[in-house]
Amino acid sequence: MKGFVNIVVICAILICSRVPEAQVTNLTFPENFTLGSATSSYQIEGAWNISDKGENIWDWWTHNYPENIADGSNGDIACNSYYNYKEDVQILKDIGFDFYRFSISWSRVLPNGFANEISEEGIQYYKNLTEELLANDIEPVVSIYHWDHPLILEELGGWTNELMVEWFADYARVIFEELGPLVKTFITINEPSVYCSNGYNSTRHSPGKILENMGHYICIHNTLKAHATVYHMYNDEFRSEQQGQIGLTTACDGWFSNDDSNATLINQAFQFNCGWVAHPLFVGDYPEILKTRIAMISELEGYPFSRLPEFSDEWVEYINGTADFFGLNHYTSYVVSADPDEESGIYNIDSGIIKSVNTSYPHGSLSWMYDTPEGFGNLLRMIRDEYDNPPVHVYENGYCDLGELNDYARITYYNGYMTELLSVIQNDSCNVVRYTAWSLLDNFEWSDGYTVNFGIVSVNFTDPDRARSSKLSTSWWKSVMQTRTVQDVPTSV
C-alpha cells in the first residue's frame, strides 16, 4: 500500500494503562453496532476539472475568493482520492472499519447541474469506489449532497430558489438508479444548518451571501422540502427493490451546565440549534419557540412577515416522518446563557442564547473545538426524549489538531466520546446504533483550508501523489476494531 506506513501494535511500543476487567467489558460495543469513518467529495477527491466535471460553488469560491480561506488554498487536488481511492479503501480495510461514508460530487455526475446531461465517467468513478468497498467487505454509506452543488444552480439562486427542490430530486434519482442497487444507506443532505448559516447568512462558506438575516431560513426551508421529496421518491420508486434506508444528517451541539443554565434555556438552545432541522422530520413543523420568537423579532424590526418561512399544512405532513434514522454530526458542547440585553427589550439574536465555553476543558486547534464528552451524553438523552428514541447514526465525530503523528489528544477525545456513547446506550437506553470517525484522512477543511487536521491518517499535501501515512490514532482505531472495545489512551514510553 503506497505511502501507508503501518505502526507496530500500540502496546508493543507504548505503555498502556490497565483498566479493570468489568470496566473493559462495559466498553465493548453491542453485537450489531457498526463503526466507520467518513469523508466528503470536495474535501478529498481533487481532479476538480477532470473529464467533463462542471464547476461547483467551492471551486468558484476558492478560486475567486482565496482570502476567505485561512491559507488561501483550495480543493483542486486535495487528497487526490479521485486517483487514490483504491489505496483509501485498503486503509479502511486494514483498520477494519465496517463502513465508509463518502459523498457524491453533484457537478461530477451532472456537469451542468441538470439531469439532461449525465457524465458517464463521473458515475463510473463512484461505481468503481462502491464496488471496491463491497469487494473488501466494507459497507458504502452514500451522502448525495455535502455542500458542493454546481455553480450554475447557485447563479439561479441556489438553496434560496424553491426550484432547487426539483433539481435536487432529479439529481437524486440518477444516484438511486445508478448506485442504489449497490448501496443500502443513503444520506440525502449533510448538515443543512451549517451550509445555510455559513453560506446564506455569512461569508464564512460558499456562496458567501448575507441575505437580510433570512437567507439561511429560506435555505433550510427549501432543503427540508428537497429532502422530503427525495425520501418519498425513494419510498415510492426504489425502496421495495433496493431495500435500503435513507435520512439526512444534522449538526447538533451539546451542552454542559453552569450556574446560569436551566431547563428552559437548554431547551431553547437545543431547538434553535438541533430542532430547527430535526423537529420538522420527527415531530412536524418548526419548533414553536422558533416560530414565536422569530415572528416577534421580525415584527420589532419592521418586517410585515416573519423572517422564518411558514410551511403549509400539506408540507408539514409531507416532511414529517421522512427519516429512517436520526443522522447526527457532533463535535463539541457549550454552556448556554440568556442574552442579558433582552431584559431591556433589545433582541440581538433570534435564539436569545449566548454560548460560552469552560476554558479549563482541553481543546483542539480550532477555537471552538473543546473536548466535552459529557455534553455528548446530554445531547443524546435529549434526542431520545424529544423524538421518541429514534435509531441514531452518529455520522461525524472527531478532533482537530495541527497534524501530529503522535496524536494523543485525538485518541483521548475518541476514548472519551465513545465511552460516553456506550454509557448512554447501557445506562440510559439511548438507541444509538452507528458511530463514524471524522475523518479518515487529513483533508481540505473548508474555510480553514489545510491549517487544521481531523484525519486519523496523515496526508502529505506537498507530495504530488499525496502520500498517506499512519498516525498513532490509526493503530488505536485498528485495536478498537479488532476487539470491538474502546481502548485505553496510551502513554508514551
The pLDDT tens digits for 322-360 are 999 999 999 999 999 999 999 999 999 999 999 999 888
Question: What is the mean predicted confidence (pLDDT) over 43-58?
Answer: 97
Range of the domain at 306: 10-491
Residue 157 is assigned to a structural domain of this protein:
yes
Residue 193 is assigned to a structural domain of this protein:
yes
- Number of helices (H) and strands (E) in the chain: give both, helices first: 19, 15
User: In three state form, how does the secondary structure of 58-97 look?
Assistant: HHHHHHHCHHHCCCCCCCCCCCCHHHHHHHHHHHHHHHCC
Among candidates 250, 227, 61, 244, which has minimal Cα distance to 144?
A: 227
φ, ψ dihedrals at 250, nearest 5°: -125, 145
User: In three state form, how does the secondary structure of 422-471 look?
Assistant: HHHHHHHCCCEEEEEEECCECCCCHHHCCCCECCCEEECCCCCCCCEEEC
Number of domains in the chain: 1
Give just the sign of the alpha carbon dihedral 57, 62, 66, 67.
Answer: positive
Residue 451 contacts residue 71 (beta carbons within 8 Å): yes
Measured distance CA(361)–CA(183) in Å, rounded? 40
Question: What is the mean predicted confidence (pLDDT) over 268-279?
Answer: 98
pLDDT at residue 258, rounded to an integer: 72
| Cα distances (angstroms) measured from residue 29 to each of 426, 439, 480, 484 | 10, 20, 10, 6
Measured distance CA(269)–CA(353) in Å, rounded? 6
Q: Is the pLDDT of residue 24 over 80?
A: no
DSSP readout, 179-246? HTTT-SEEEEEE-HHHHHHHHHB-SSSTT--B-TTTHHHHHHHHHHHHHHHHHHHIIIIIHHHH--EE
Question: What is the mean predicted confidence (pLDDT) over 200-213?
Answer: 97
Residue 342 is assigned to a structural domain of this protein:
yes
Return the C-alpha torsion angle 171, 175, 178, 182, nearest 10. Answer: -170
Residue 476 contacts residue 399 (beta carbons within 8 Å): no
pLDDT in tens, 104-131: 999 999 999 999 999 999 999 999 999 9
Across the chain, which distance is largest between two alpha carbons, in Å?
69
The answer to whether the peptide bond before residue 51 is cis (omega within 30 degrees of 0) is no
Measured distance CA(44)–CA(77) in Å, rounded? 8
Segment (H or E) for 264 = helix 263-270
Residue 3 is assigned to a structural domain of this protein:
no
Kind of pairing, strands 15-16 and 490-491?
antiparallel
What predicted TM-score, i.e. pTM, was given to this entire model? 0.94
Chain mean position to CA 141: 13
Residue 242 is assigned to a structural domain of this protein:
yes
Give percent of the chain above pLDDT 90.
91
Question: What is the mean predicted confidence (pLDDT) over 387-410?
Answer: 98
The x, y and z cell numbers of residue 330, run together, are 457532533
Question: What is the mean predicted confidence (pLDDT) over 66-91?
Answer: 98
pLDDT in tens, 419-429: 999 999 999 99
Q: State in Å, rounded, how far the first CA of the chain is from the last one.
A: 28
Question: What is the mean predicted confidence (pLDDT) over 313-320?
Answer: 98
Question: What is the mean predicted confidence (pLDDT) over 80-87?
Answer: 98
Among candidates 1, 11, 131, 43, which has minimal Cα distance to 478?
A: 11
Residue 311 is assigned to a structural domain of this protein:
yes
Residue 253 is assigned to a structural domain of this protein:
yes
Segment (H or E) for 256 = none
pLDDT in tens, 224-233: 999 999 999 9
Identity of residue 52: D
Measured distance CA(286)–CA(146) in Å, rounded? 23
Question: What is the mean predicted confidence (pLDDT) over 1-21?
Answer: 33
Measured distance CA(249)–CA(293) in Å, rounded? 25
DSSP readout, 288-325? HHHHHHHHHHHHHTT-SS-SS----HHHHHHHTT--SS
Bridge partners of 355, per DSSP, are 336
Q: Is the pLDDT of residue 29 over 50?
A: yes
Measured distance CA(172)–CA(104) in Å, rounded? 10
pLDDT at residue 338, rounded to an integer: 94
User: Known catalytic residues?
Assistant: 191, 396
Alpha carbons within 13 angstroms on the beta-carbon side of residue 344 total 5
CATH number of the domain within which 245 lies: 3.20.20.80
Measured distance CA(113)–CA(152) in Å, rounded? 7
Residue 149 contacts residue 108 (beta carbons within 8 Å): no
The x, y and z cell numbers of residue 384, run together, are 431520545
DSSP readout, 471-486? -HHHHHHHHHHHHTBP
Q: How confident is the model at residue 293 (pLDDT cuts 50, 70, 90)?
A: very high
Among candidates 456, 489, 450, 476, which has minimal Cα distance to 66?
A: 450
pLDDT in tens, 160-183: 999 999 999 999 999 999 999 999
Residue 2 is assigned to a structural domain of this protein:
no
Q: Is the pLDDT of residue 75 over 80?
A: yes
Residue 192 contacts residue 323 (beta carbons within 8 Å): no
pLDDT at residue 259, rounded to an integer: 63
Q: Which residue has the cell 476487567?
A: 21
Give just the sign of the alpha carbon dihedral 449, 147, 205, 474.
Answer: negative
Q: What is the DSSP letter of 368?
A: T
